[in-house]
Amino acid sequence: MPHSAGGSKRDTITQRIVGQTSDGRDLIEFTMRAPSGLSAVWLNYGATLTQLILPDGTNIVVGFDDPVRYLSNHPSIGVTIGPVANRIGRARFSIDGEIFQTEPNLSPNTLHSGAAGWQHRLWDVTVVDGMLEFTLDADDGDGGFPGDRQTVMMAQLAENALRLEWFVSTDRATPINITQHSYFNLSGNVGQPIDAHALQSHATHVTQTDTDHIPTGQTLSVTDTALDFGDPQEIGARVIDNNLLVPGAGLRDLAALTDGVRTLFLQSDAPGFQLYTGEALTEAGFIARAGLALEPQSPPDAVNQPVDGIDMVLQPDKDWHLTIQYILHGPGLPK
């Protein structure tokens, strides 16, 4: 797998207003273009990646044709999820003996921070040195989460890669587990499921969960199971919504996905990633399994049940950081 990607000062960024929110604020689309022909399209709403287009014209992420559609309910298509992605068991957690209640939007649990999740917010966006800088401030108590929090996301497009970095600070201990929630279909044909895509992963263990996908606090080896992607395996008919753990620390290879023509290499410094086969995409008018979600993050409910010592609570004297990098191989892209 590749381990780095270079940028270029010749990259360009353009923007346009594509709609308004219900309270009259501008919905703004930003398009990043690299000299190779790779481009990425973002919305300020939800810091949402709506398109990732290869030089051959293939858009490899599931998305809506009408940007305004992102303002209505959908299964987290392309959004930046925060402050806490995935599930919080029983919609509650405690820090230093204080109990906090979150919205039980997937009763009795919380999924993706509920209606107060940052995927439902307008982010401020500026262009900085050829990158997009998304910023968001969240107040103490929003959605039941403690702390005044400041979040910055930097998006940088290279000749063959998209690099994302998040930085979070807080004035009060608070859980943080941000992720990017694109659904990938490398063929660009969202009318066909991703079953024929092949995945390879460096994950060695899976977070054990109950029937509500809430962790038990234990991990299981993936060896010789349906989640063993040590060698490339077709997704096939497997229904997957599991959190996989990848050994090591720092920016490293987590997984590689291919349709036989195009390949996406996923890198991150997260402990692992959620792998989801996209059955809920039918809720947004797509076919089931139109895309595969690869979401670098900490294990779900780690605020209540830390897995392998992974704790998602950010302290006021620390800064939280996450990097996700998608390196792409395919027609017209440099290797």
Q: How many domains is the chain built from?
A: 1
Q: Which amino acid is at 40?
A: A
Query: Whole domain around residue 34: which residue ranges?
Result: 12-329
Task: Identify whether 5 is part of a domain.
Answer: no
Secondary structure (3-state) at 189? coil
Q: Is residue 1 a part of any domain in this protein?
A: no
CATH of the domain at 100: 2.70.98.10
- For residue 246, tell me if it sits in a domain: yes
Do the beta carbons of residue 226 and residue 287 sit within 8 Å?
A: no
**Which two three-digit tokens encode residue 64?**
């809506």
Strands 252-258 and 241-245: unpaired
The 10 Å CB-count burial string (b at 16+, else e) for 243-262 is: bbbbeeeebebbbbbbbeeb
Query: Exposure pattern of 280-302 as b/e (b: 16+ CB <10 Å)?
Result: bbeebebeebbbbbbbbbbbbbb
- Amino acid in the structure at residue 279: E
Distance, in Å, from the CA atom of 246 to the CA atom of 252, rounded to the nearest integer, reads: 9
Q: Is residue 250 part of a domain?
A: yes
CB atoms within 10 A of CB 144: 18
Q: What pLDDT is stored for residue 309 in this prediction? A: 85
pLDDT of 1: 41
44 with 158: CB under 8 angstroms?
no
Tell whether 192 is covered by a domain.
yes
pLDDT in tens, the chain (335 residues): 444 454 444 569 999 999 999 999 999 999 999 999 999 999 999 999 999 999 999 999 999 999 999 999 999 999 999 999 999 999 999 999 999 999 999 999 999 999 999 999 999 999 999 999 999 999 999 999 999 999 999 999 999 999 999 999 999 999 999 999 999 999 999 999 999 999 999 999 999 999 888 999 899 999 999 999 999 999 999 999 999 999 999 999 999 999 999 999 999 999 999 999 999 999 999 999 999 999 999 999 999 999 888 889 999 999 999 999 999 999 999 87
Alpha-carbon span 61 to 196, nearest angstrom = 16
pLDDT number for residue 10: 56
Alpha-carbon distance 232 to 250, whole Å? 23
pTM of the shown model: 0.96
222 inside domain = yes
Rounded to an integer, what distance in angstroms lies between the CA atom of residue 287 and that of residue 284? 9
Q: Please tell me the predicted confidence (pLDDT) of residue 304.
A: 95
Is 335 domain-assigned?
A: no
Give 3-state DSSP helix, strand, coil % of the chain, rounded to 5: 10, 45, 45
DSSP 258-272: E-SS-EEEEEESSSE
The pLDDT score that the predictor gives to residue 5 is 52
Does residue 3 lie in a domain region? no
